[in-house]
Chains A and B, each alone.
Chain A
Amino acid sequence: MGLRGLFASWKSVAAALAALVALGPAQAQREGGAHIAIACGALGIELELCRDAAQEWAAQTGNTVEIVNTPNSSSDRFQLYVQLLSSQSADIDVLQIDVVWAGMLQSHLADLEEPLGDRVDAMFPALGANNRVNGKLVAVPWYIDAGVLYYRKDLLDKYGYAPPKTWDDLTRIATAIQKAERAEGNGRLWGYVFQAKAYEGLTCNALEWVASHGGGSFLGLDRAFTADNPQARTALNRAAGWIGTIAPRGVLNYDEEASRGVFQTGNAVFMRNWPYAWALAQGAESPVRGKVGVVALPKGPDGKSAAALGGWHLAVSRYSRHREEAIDLVRYLTRAEEQKRRAIVGAYNPTLTALYDDREVIAANPFFATLYPAFENAVARPARPAGARYNQVSDAIWRASYDVLQGDSKAGPALTRLEDEIARIAYRARWSEQAE
């Protein structure tokens, strides 16, 4: 009793001092309505779209919104969320979360089943399955992503190639065009750019290579390590062979934006990226405007094309002081009209399946039609089996892949080491003691 009282008064003293130092987080009460802080995109069109829509909502409802600035890199962003949520801070009400974070953050997120469950049922089924964790709906999918292959239509036409169906095709075409173009004096042209920096994007790329060779997705749903197989080795060794031949060595430091930079300035024949790059590559100032095509990613000899499932969802913090308003903002941002606007202006792929039949959406993004099957059959990263440990598992996957790409190691030993690392994670998480 005495101790609790002491802590309570401590807390109030600290809070008073805190308010003094912070020069008052007083905006909250100023306007009468609720003050909602939302963390969405970090920069560019993503941020603009979010800001505009959120302010629209604020104007209509008499509340105020604040866009919380978040780091561009998604692993930095995740760290911030973890720190914030685990301290039960009410500083952010609505958060944009990655598809793989649902399991990791679920204990901090409000259940959206009752207000927004119906809406999620109208979306791609994989998304609902991903976001219903422990019997609650932790987030509403906002846009869906999957890896796709961009190619230079003009260059393929010039040399008489069709878009590649297999990785062998891609390697062959890229080698041939790179050689021919360089002979013509286009010295900076490379065959293929992708994301090989040691970060989450490399896990997506590696998953696509391995899965499209029929090598599984690293971790089975029963948490068994499945990646140490001949197909996975072939896939990783093949990718390592691209470095320095059809891909610049610098690709080892490329994320999405760095690879887009190379492709969009006309210096690459092929690029693996997310659908967002389409609108930018076709933008008014883009040097490759009108010269770009999109197809599904190639496959291995005995696999089928595999695209890593990506996308971002909106969740409401359990510690929000204005949960009703926060949910209403999520409702507003994920409704069909808003998803349509985002699809047309920013080429963000709607999660509502009905929008793929919308004439205006398809007119703005003809390639959406080709993406639909990819979304339905996208390969999920092993987030479900890894659960709260997904970040660690993914970190191990991208480090093993990076070792192979960099040439430090062949795929065989790298995958053996990966298995050992995942065993360590499993031991610490006590996976063997708890059935999934």
Chain B
Amino acid sequence: MSRRSAIDAARARSAWLFVTPMLVVLAVVAAWPLARTIWFSMTNATLVDLTTYDFIWFDNFVVHAEGRWYGIFTDPQWLRALWNTLVFAAVSVSLELVLGVIVALIVNASLPGRGLMRAAMLVPWAIPTVVSAKIWQWMLNDQFGVVNAMLEGAGFTDGPIAWLGGSSLAMVSIIMVDVWKTTPFVALLVLAALQTLPKEIYEAAKVDGIHPVKVFFKVTLPLIKPALVVAVIFRLLDAMRMFDLVYVMTGSSEETMTLSVFARQALVSFQDVGYGSAASTGLFLIIAMITVIYIMTLKPLGQEKAA
């Protein structure tokens, strides 16, 4: 009893001392800048001179003046960016989830070369996003791209397809690249979960002659659900703040502009710090909502090891 409390006291004494440096750094790089961004979102500051501005409350978000509605929530371009972001997040995460599970199941089958396969899965993940964006941009080039050459060679198309320019195909292409790049990540998480499953259940199911598809939906899926939830949350948050892939592959084209690209364009290209900060704050609020929901579903961390 006294031994325990002596240890706890010793630990607690140094705890704050040990945590403080990290907290200070986080406050300077995260909390303070975030507070400033929220502050700027209620001003009309510009990048030319960050020190003189007027405080305009919520005019950057929504305001009715001179017989019109202004502010990001009524700006067709911001709404378009919101729509693009939601479409991108929903479609790419669903595809990654389904394909990730399928790939994990394939790789989980005990065949020789499983290690090699796992290694191959890590390759797209290891390639920096900007580099994969550039490689795909080159492969999807309308004049000289290998994708068009292969499609034409196989007789599927008779003219070059403009994958990245001037059509709704741009979003399809970007989703495709994201799926290529991050499906392996999902698959690895699922694979880790699959390998913890007890083999006995499957042997029992086999003996009983239950169809494998039924086994998957009745047994496997419920057991790997926690891993899937984690994968979905991580991917969803990543997808909602997508920047580099879109910026490199299609620039600030309206077809594919995401909320992050919109915010950076307002902030840097147009030097409109107030409006850009409002756009960033909008994105922050959306992501904060998802995060809070996620954290609330987590098992309380304090009670030693969960599961």
Question: Residues on A close to B: CB < 8 A?
Answer: 75, 78-79, 82-83, 86, 104, 107-108, 197-198, 249-250, 252-253, 388-389, 391-392, 395, 399, 402, 406, 417, 420-421, 423-424, 427-428, 430, 432
- Interface stretch of the complex, out of B46-54, B86-94, B105-113, B291-299: B46-54
Q: Which of A252, A391, A427 contacts B65 (CB 8 A)?
A: A427
Provided the pairs A253-B142, A253-B165, A427-B65 are in contact, do residues A391 and B47 lie with their beta carbons within 8 angstroms?
A: no
Instruction: From B31-39, B126-134, B183-191, B269-277, give the one contacting chain A.
Output: B269-277
Closest chain A residue to B65, Cβ basis? A427
Consensus secondary structure, chain A interface: helix
Asked, given contacts A86-B48, A388-B48, A417-B76, whether A253 binds B272 with beta carbons under 8 Å apart, the answer is: no
9 A-B pairs with C-beta separation under 8 A: A79-B269, A83-B268, A198-B254, A249-B162, A391-B269, A395-B269, A402-B254, A428-B272, A428-B274
**Cβ of B4 to closest chain A Cβ, rounded Å:** 45
Contacts of A427 in B (CB 8 A): 65-66, 68, 70
Q: How far is the CB of B252 from chain A (nearest CB, A)?
A: 8
Q: Is B124 an interface residue (CB 8 A)?
A: no
Complex CA distance for A104 and B253, rounded to whole angstroms: 23
**A156 CA / B66 CA spacing, docked (Å):** 54
| Complex partner residue of B270 from A86, A392, A399, A432, CB under 8 angstroms | A392
Decide yes or no whether B115 CB sits under 8 A from chain A: no
Q: Are B48 and A78 in contact (CB under 8 A)?
A: no
Tell me whether A250 and B143 are in contact in the complex, defined as CB-CB below 8 angstroms, given that A107-B48, A198-B254 are known contacts. yes
User: Is the pair A78, B254 in contact by a Cβ cutoff of 8 Å?
Assistant: no
Specify the main secondary structure of chain B where it touches its partner. Answer: loop
Bound state CA distance, A402 and B164, in angstroms? Answer: 15
Whole-angstrom CA separation of A420 from B74 in the bound complex: 11
Question: Could you tell me the distance between the alpha carbons of A108 and B271 in the complex, rounded to whole angstroms?
Answer: 14
Known: A86-B49, A428-B274. 18 other contacts (CB 8 A): A75-B269, A79-B268, A86-B48, A108-B48, A250-B143, A250-B166, A389-B270, A395-B269, A395-B270, A399-B254, A402-B166, A402-B254, A406-B166, A420-B76, A423-B68, A424-B70, A427-B68, A427-B70
Contacting pair A428 B162 (CB below 8 A):
no
B275 in contact with A428 (CB, 8 Å): yes
Closest Cβ neighbor of B165 among chain A residues: A253
- Decide: A249 and B254 in contact? CB cutoff 8 A: no
Q: Cα distance A139–B167 when bound, in Å?
A: 40
Ranked 8 nearest A-B pairs via Cβ: A253-B165, A252-B166, A86-B47, A392-B270, A427-B70, A79-B268, A406-B166, A79-B269
A250 touches B269 (CB 8 A): no
In this complex, which of B49, B76, B272 has the most chain A Cβ atoms within 10 angstroms of its Cβ?
B272
Interface residue B75 (Cβ < 8 Å from any Cβ of A): yes
Kindly provide the distance from the CB of B69 to the nearest chain A CB, expressed in whole angstroms.
Answer: 9
Q: List CB contacts (< 8 Å) of B223-261 with chain A.
A: 253-254
Nearest residue in A to B70 (C-beta to C-beta)? A427
User: What are the interface flags for B140-184 relative to A under an 8 Å C-beta threshold, 1 for contact and 0 otherwise?
Assistant: 001100000000000000001010111100000000000000000
